[in-house]
Amino acid sequence: MKRLSTESLAQLPPQVQTPRYDRDSTDIGIVHLGIGAFHRAHQALYTEQVLNETGGAWGICGVSLRSATVRDQLAPQDCLYTVSVNSDAGRKLQLVGAVKTVLVASESPSAVIEALCLPSVHVVTLTITEKGYCLNPASGRLNESHPDIRHDLAYPDQPITAIGFIARALEHRRKNGQAGLTIISCDNWFANGKRLGQAVLDFSTLVDTELQTWIADHCRFPCTMVDRIVPVTTLEDRERIGNTLGHEDQACVMTEPFSQWVIEDNFAGPVPDWRSAGATLVSDVQPFEKMKLRMLNGSHSTLAYLACLARIDTVSEAITHPEIRLLVEKLMREEMVPTLSLPGSFDLDAYADQLLQRFANTALHHQTRQIAMDGSQKIPQRLLPALNDYLQKGESSAAIMLGIAAWIRYTRGIDESGIRYQLDDPLSEQLEILHEACGPDVESYLPAILGISEVFDVELKNNLLFSKGLREALDTLESLGALATARLVGDKTNG
C-alpha cells in the first residue's frame, strides 16, 4: 500500500475531511514540544480548525525530545496524519495538515533552539507529561539536582529537557531583541502554567538573573485545562485506517468525540483564534483544572490500578464491573464533587454522568496499563489534594483512599493472579528496590512508601488518619482483592 502524502490528498474517499488551506504557504507560528498522540488529537486539531476557517501563519513545528519514532512516522508522509474519532456510532476521519515539520531534539538540539527563535514563532505548547517538567511533585519547584537539569545547566547548547530548551532559546531571543513567547503547558498538572513558569524561572535564575527578569516581563505561561481521551494507537488501528484511506498512515491517532480546552486569557503576543475552534478563554482556569484532575483523572487512576490488579485490560471493560462502577461513582459524586466549586450554574452531576459515558466507550480500547504508568507523578495531582481537603477537617474519604492504596499495591509489580509486570514510572527503580527489601507485608512496605518525599510531604506522611486509612485499605486489598474491596468501599458510608 502506498504511503500517505500530499499527492494522496486528491485520492482519498470523500468522507475523509482534508485541509482546506494552502499548506505550502503556511508559515511556522507554533513550536510544540512533545509531539505525541495527545497533541495530534487535541491542540493540533484546534489549530487545524483555525487554519481551515481563517488561515494564518500557524503551522506547527513538532519536536520529539528523545525518540525519533514520531518523526519517522510523520516525515515520510509530509507530516499528514489522520485523526479517527471513534464512538459506538462509528468512526469519523479527518486528515490534519497543521504539523509542517518534526524535529528530534536528541539528534539536533541546535535545530530545536533555532525553531524556537524563528521570528514567525509566537507560541510554544508542551505535552511532555508530568515528569518532563523536572519538578518536585510535592513542592512544585524545579528539582535542581535532577540529572537532566544539571546536564542542561552544564551544556546549555545541547539541552535535553524542555525547560533547558526554552531557557536557552529565550536567552537568544532576549539578546537578539526579539519578542517574548506565550508558552503553554498542556499537561495534566494543577496550575500547569504557573508550574511551567516557575520551572523556567527557577532554571533561568541559575543561568543569569537578567534573563529571569526578561522572561518575567516578556513571556506568559497561561494555565490550561486539556481534555480528550487518546489511547495508544495499535497495529490494528493503523491497518483499519490504511484500508479506509487506501494509503498507509503510520501516524494516525484514535480519539473520542469529546474534546475540551480551557485556556487562561493571558498571552505575550498573537495566538491562533482557538476560541473560534471551540476552546474557552477564561481569566481563571483553576476551577476547571481542579474539576478535571479530580473527577476524570482521579477516577481514571483509581479505576486503572484496581483494574490492573484484577487483570482487566480496558477502561470500558472495567466500568462494566458493578464493583468498579460503584466505587468510581462514589469517588466522583460523593467525595470529589463536594471539594469543587465551579463558576455559574455548572452541573457537576451532569459532568459525572458524561464522564461515565465517556469511560464506557467500547470503540476506544483505552488500556488501563497506559493510565497506570507514572503513578508517582500522577497521584500527587489527582488524588492527594482532594484527600488533603478532608484530612484538614479531621475527616477521611474512603474511595480516594482506596485509589491511593491501589497505586501503592500496584507498585509491588505483581497482580492478584501472581503475574509480574514492569513498573513504568520515573521512580520504578526505587520502588522495585523498596519492595524487594520489604516483601509483601503491608506493615513493612507501607511506611517505606510513605517515606518517598517526592510523593508524600512530611505533613501527610505523619497524618495518622492518613496512614491508618491506607493500612486498612491495603489490608483489605491484599486479603479480598481489588473487586471485592471496591464493592466494600463503594457501599460504605463515609464517616
- Binding-site ranges for ligand CS2 (CB under 6 A): 188, 227-229, 296-297, 300, 370-371, 378
Euclidean distance between CA atoms 157 and 489, whole angstroms: 53
- In the complex, what is the shortest distance from the CB of residue 289 to ligand CS2, in angstroms, rounded to a whole number? 11
**Which of 70, 296 has the CB closer to ligand CS2?**
296
- In the complex, what is the shortest distance from the CB of residue 227 to ligand CS2, in angstroms, rounded to a whole number? 4
| 259 in Cβ contact with 296 (< 8 Å) | no
- In the complex, what is the shortest distance from the CB of residue 248 to ligand CS2, in angstroms, rounded to a whole number? 27
Secondary structure (3-state) at 459:
helix
Hey, what's the cell of 21? 488551506
**Which of 38, 203 has the CB closer to ligand CS2?**
38
- In the complex, what is the shortest distance from the CB of residue 407 to ligand CS2, in angstroms, rounded to a whole number? 12
H-state helical runs in 184-234: 192-207, 209-218
**Which of 266, 370 has the CB closer to ligand CS2?**
370
| 328 in Cβ contact with 403 (< 8 Å) | no
Radius of gyration of the chain, Cα coordinates, nearest whole angstrom: 23
Euclidean distance between CA atoms 376 and 454, whole angstroms: 8
- In the complex, what is the shortest distance from the CB of residue 467 to ligand CS2, in angstroms, rounded to a whole number? 26
| 483 in Cβ contact with 324 (< 8 Å) | yes
**Which of 129, 396 has the CB closer to ligand CS2?**
129
- In the complex, what is the shortest distance from the CB of residue 304 to ligand CS2, in angstroms, rounded to a whole number? 7
**Which of 187, 335 has the CB closer to ligand CS2?**
187
Q: Is 157 exposed, middle or buried (0-12, 13-18, 19+ CB in 10 A)?
A: exposed
Measured on CA atoms in the order 304, 259, 352, 90, is the torsion positive or negative?
negative
Euclidean distance between CA atoms 418 and 413, whole angstroms: 9
- In the complex, what is the shortest distance from the CB of residue 95 to ligand CS2, in angstroms, rounded to a whole number? 23
| 38 in Cβ contact with 261 (< 8 Å) | no
- In the complex, what is the shortest distance from the CB of residue 378 to ligand CS2, in angstroms, rounded to a whole number? 6
Residue number of the CB closest to ligand CS2 reads 300
Secondary structure letter of residue 34 according to DSSP: S
Measured on CA atoms in the order 331, 336, 337, 342, is the torsion positive or negative?
negative
**Which of 83, 181 has the CB closer to ligand CS2?**
83
**Which of 95, 226 has the CB closer to ligand CS2?**
226
Give the closest residue to 212 by CA, choosing from 199, 194, 193: 199
| 35 in Cβ contact with 79 (< 8 Å) | no
**Which of 221, 288 has the CB closer to ligand CS2?**
288
